[in-house]
Structure 1
Amino acid sequence: MRSRSLSSRKSVAFLLAGFTSCLALPGILDAAELRVGAAQIKITPPDGIPMAGYYNERGSEGVLDDLFARALVFEKDGTKAAMVTLDLITTSAPMVEATRKAVQEQTGIPTEHVLITASHTHTAPIITGRGPRDNVFGGGKDITRQYNATLPGLIAECVEQAQVRLAPAAISLGRATEKNLAFNRRFFLKDGSVAWNPRKLDPNIVEPAGPVDPEVLVLAVNDPKGKPLATLVNFALHPDTVGGSRISADYPGVMAGLVGAWRGGESVTLFANGACGNINHRDVNWEAPQKGPGEATRIGTILAASVFKAARELKPASGDQLRVAREVVKLPLPAITPEQVQKATAIMQEVISGEKKPAFLDQVDAFKVVDVEGRKGAPWEVEVQVITLGNEVAVVSLPGEIFVELGLDIKKLSPFKHTFIAELANGSIGYIPTKRAYGQGAYEVVSARCAAGSGEILVEAAARLLQKLKAAK
């Protein structure tokens, strides 16, 4: 049962739609050169399904707002590519493999031309196939397995619907800067250590241990007459604001609703989360509580306003080429000792039995160690994928919760003016910190299943692909 009152959000959306309807989004590309289709499909799970995001089991108790899969399909000169965004905690390798196979069978789009990314909402179901943590907290239950089994078919159906709607289209690009939503959640303390999510107004805080990425990127798709078809929004911010036990897309869902109301008609709004592994919404210098549906509404509304501001700056994109490239990269495992494995096994037993609740970081480390031990020394084989449109637009997919510094490095190295970063894409291995962060410790580093330097390997791979596609004729 949908329990959130949406009347205020709908009122704001109605006013925005009326006020901005006169804004004509500029078009590009001869309509005969590019075709685009967009679609969305509901993927809300049944009540009672175990939810992801935390180190405890919690079954869902109703729906705050629905979850969606949204798809964009591009076609140029017979080449097709699909981008899918999901209101889910993550993607898994098994889910992506099954989905890509279904997409190819139903649409003919090659598997390697399908990009699948998740928003990382923490009020969504567990995605299976990612390791013992999810199994311990409800991933092995029938309701979870059955839901996960339906996802590839639902996503493929969404892509198929988008392909059916392929039509001549024009794209425009814009950007805005939003400095009041995202905050680095790692801080240097007076004792020289680095803390993760310290309490608000903590007098021991010296300064943030890293930057943020305030860029809001917007790609607007219209038909040749200016009718809105789709909007792709890219921003780097952890969606963990709602909390509780009701299903919700978190702030990206609020933003999508407002932008969709503004754009109107059957326009589809997609959200790709940027590199936000160490970024969240908590302002430690603001004493106000920042949790719950109201906080998601606040953030989603401000982000939507940034999209509206970017609309004034939308410019036609140049070029008419659609290109796709991918590279499978091997990432090394962190070193673990037999003593760590023995300790982790004992902690896992405590968690499973419920007789004792281990300390949080001990639990985090235990699940990491068990995951790494299970690989028997085999490095992670992960995918970096790039889709480009013309000479200005690139979408880079990365396989985990990427530290913001790595995303910023890719943008600096990219020869494309507008470089969208989509994390948690095409299967995720969890946190991927910078090499520098490994020496500082704290939650993300304790949790990381890959060794120091892995993030920089991904940056190098992304840079190679971007240069390759820029040079292609």
Structure 2
Amino acid sequence: MTVLLAFAAALSAGTAQVKITPPDGAPMAGYYYERGTTGVHDDLWAKSLVLEAGGERAALVACDLIHLTRGVVSEAKRLIEQQSGLKPHQVMISATHAHTGPVVAGGSSRYETAAAPGGKAGAYAKWLPGRIAESVRLAAGSMRPSRAFSGSGNESLIAFNRRFHMSDGTVGWNPGKMNPKIVKPAGPVDPEVPVVYIQTEDGKPLITYVNYALHLDTVGGTEVSADYPYTLSTLLTGAKGGSMLTLFTIGCAGNVNHIDVRHAKPQKGHEEAARIGTVLAGEVMKTWARMVPAGAATLVSRMEIARLPLAPHRPEDVEWAKGIAAKFGKPNAAPFLEMVKAFRVLDVEARKGKPLEAQVQVIALGNDIAWVGLPGEIFVELGMAIKRASPFNRTIVVSLANDNLGYIPNSKAYSEGNYEVVSARCAGGSGEILVETAGRMLKEMYQ
């Protein structure tokens, strides 16, 4: 028994990062219009953490991108299995949701295809899986005996629910600063800052893994940037001597951004991204001081498919949507929400009634830390519900993992409407299906 316990407690870890910055002129993601990169403020990276315990391995990968398509992820996982031996269910590949990076072509979102005409983004999407696989290969090749610690900070001053109850009875989306019609936020924020810190057996800092539920849409413009995680990484890595990797993943922030509507001060640009990254880094540094060791380092990975019903539309909506989409990018383009609805109708119609397949992934380190991967922009209420349902000491919910199914609101939001609901390819109740699936998996995997 003593031998078995000692074996279970052994942990090895390896880290690496590989540059994934696009070339100048690459089409940029994030908005409903065409724009190309004009320079690089800071590079984009595919960052990897590979863990091994009890004879099992798993990899956690974060890319400084707006999202990842199922095709890119599948090809990356094929290469990872070929080069490093990890099975697809053992690898969680997520995007941070940076809005100042390249379009990742090949997804189901027609507006991104329209915003990157002529197939300009195709070459990047073909190149990207190899870079992700290289990051994992390098991390797997640098494994060393390690110790893991976890903790949680609390930061409620930089994140805000972007949906508001308005004085006319509607629910607004990004209604503007100092808008006198705002009554109150229509939802919460998740202030938790989960942190996993891993060091080598001799005490050398290896990685700080940070998760936070806040949109990465701070910078704007046409310079490539990782947004606020750039400053977060620079400060944390610098504080630990320069060799430690900082890996950031986005939590459930589908309805959460950085805009404080209570004041009129502009909140856009690199200065604002640096402010947010600095505040978040400060909370992580405080959390370092109260980390607790992770317990027995058994490692378990699991993936399930949850089938989500499609958002409904009327047959006559299809021809209407085709007409709206034909005006994309032209002077007579339709109003924003009409355009959003049109692209949603066309995307859903193309599925011919086939439900969306959502990959729900859990990677668990002992009974202490569980990572949950969900494939879309998940509303904050849903992520918090998964955490409440989890028996693990620390549950980290990662959105935009392994795929991007678009916005996945909670049921309440469907009766309120506005942008995220108009955009959602899935029907009401889909978010709760993810909560049920993830919660059940967590309970079944808890030892």
Show structure 2 runs of 5+ residues with no match.
Answer: 1-5
The counterpart of 1:378, out of the listed 349, 354, 359, is: 354
What's the CA shift for 1:174? 1.3
Matching of residue 357 in structure 1 with residue 329 in structure 2: no
Counterpart in the other structure of 1:101: 78
Matching of residue 65 in structure 1 with residue 42 in structure 2: yes
Distance 1:198 1:259 in 2: 34
Encode CA deviations 1:62-121: one digit per residue, 9 max, x unaligned: 011100000000111221111100000001100010000000000001111110010001
Matching of residue 158 in structure 1 with residue 131 in structure 2: no
The counterpart of 2:187, out of the listed 196, 207, 210, is: 210
Counterpart in the other structure of 1:5: none
What's the CA shift for 1:319? 1.8
- Within 5 Å, give how 1:26-425 maps onto structure 2: 33-131=10-108, 132-138=110-116, 140-142=118-120, 144-351=121-328, 354-425=330-401
Matching of residue 467 in structure 1 with residue 443 in structure 2: yes
What's the CA shift for 1:145? 1.0
Whether the 8 Å contact between 1:50 and 1:138 is mirrored in structure 2 is yes
Distance 2:235 2:383 in 1: 27
Match for 1:148: what amino acid? A
Counterpart in the other structure of 2:3: none
Give the secondary structure class of the aligned counterpart of 1:146: helix
Encode CA deviations 1:316-374: one digit per residue, 9 max, x unaligned: 1112210111111100001111221111100011116x251210001100110100000
Match for 1:437: what amino acid? A
Match for 1:335: what amino acid? P
Regions of 4+ moved over 2 Å: 29-32, 139-142
Whether the 8 Å contact between 2:8 and 2:297 is mirrored in structure 1 is no
Whether the 8 Å contact between 1:139 and 1:145 is mirrored in structure 2 is no
TM, length-normalised to structure 1: 0.92
Match for 2:272: what amino acid? E
Whether the 8 Å contact between 2:8 and 2:298 is mirrored in structure 1 is no
Counterpart in the other structure of 1:440: 416
Give the secondary structure class of the aligned counterpart of 1:37: strand
Whether the 8 Å contact between 2:76 and 2:130 is mirrored in structure 1 is yes
What's the CA shift for 1:225? 1.4
Give the secondary structure class of the aligned counterpart of 2:100: coil
Match for 2:257: what amino acid? N
The percent of aligned pairs where both chains have the same amino acid is 49
Distance 1:203 1:147 in 2: 44
Cα pair distance change 1:49/1:469, threshold 3 Å: same
Cα pair distance change 1:59/1:451, threshold 3 Å: same
More displaced stretch, 208-217 vs 355-364:
355-364
Give the secondary structure class of the aligned counterpart of 1:52: coil
Give the secondary structure class of the aligned counterpart of 2:59: strand
Show structure 1 runs of 5+ residues with no match.
Answer: 1-28
What's the CA shift for 1:233? 0.2
Encode CA deviations 1:110-154: one digit per residue, 9 max, x unaligned: 111110010001001001121321111106423x11111111000
Counterpart in the other structure of 1:453: 429
The CA RMSD over aligned residues, in Å, is 1.2
More displaced stretch, 133-142 vs 294-303:
133-142
Distance 1:328 1:38 in 2: 29
Distance 2:358 2:271 in 1: 37
Distance 1:118 1:254 in 2: 17
TM, length-normalised to structure 2: 0.97
Give the secondary structure class of the aligned counterpart of 1:257: helix
Whether the 8 Å contact between 1:128 and 1:139 is mirrored in structure 2 is no
Distance 1:418 1:272 in 2: 15
Cα pair distance change 1:63/1:99, threshold 3 Å: same
Distance 1:312 1:140 in 2: 52
Whether the 8 Å contact between 2:9 and 2:296 is mirrored in structure 1 is no
Distance 1:54 1:205 in 2: 25
Whether the 8 Å contact between 1:31 and 1:224 is mirrored in structure 2 is no
Match for 1:433: what amino acid? P
Encode CA deviations 1:197-225: one digit per residue, 9 max, x unaligned: 01111111110000000001110000011
Q: Report how many residues are paired.
A: 441
Counterpart in the other structure of 2:402: 426
Encode CA deviations 1:418-466: one digit per residue, 9 max, x unaligned: 1111000010110000001000001000000000000000000000110
What's the CA shift for 1:265? 3.7
Distance 1:91 1:422 in 2: 13
More displaced stretch, 334-343 vs 396-405:
334-343
Counterpart in the other structure of 1:15: none
Whether the 8 Å contact between 2:27 and 2:103 is mirrored in structure 1 is yes
Distance 2:240 2:314 in 1: 55
Match for 2:392: what amino acid? F
What's the CA shift for 1:296? 0.3
More displaced stretch, 182-191 vs 334-343:
334-343
Whether the 8 Å contact between 1:115 and 1:425 is mirrored in structure 2 is yes
Whether the 8 Å contact between 1:127 and 1:139 is mirrored in structure 2 is no
Distance 1:435 1:255 in 2: 33
What's the CA shift for 1:31? 10
What's the CA shift for 1:264? 2.1
Whether the 8 Å contact between 1:174 and 1:314 is mirrored in structure 2 is yes
Distance 2:350 2:119 in 1: 22
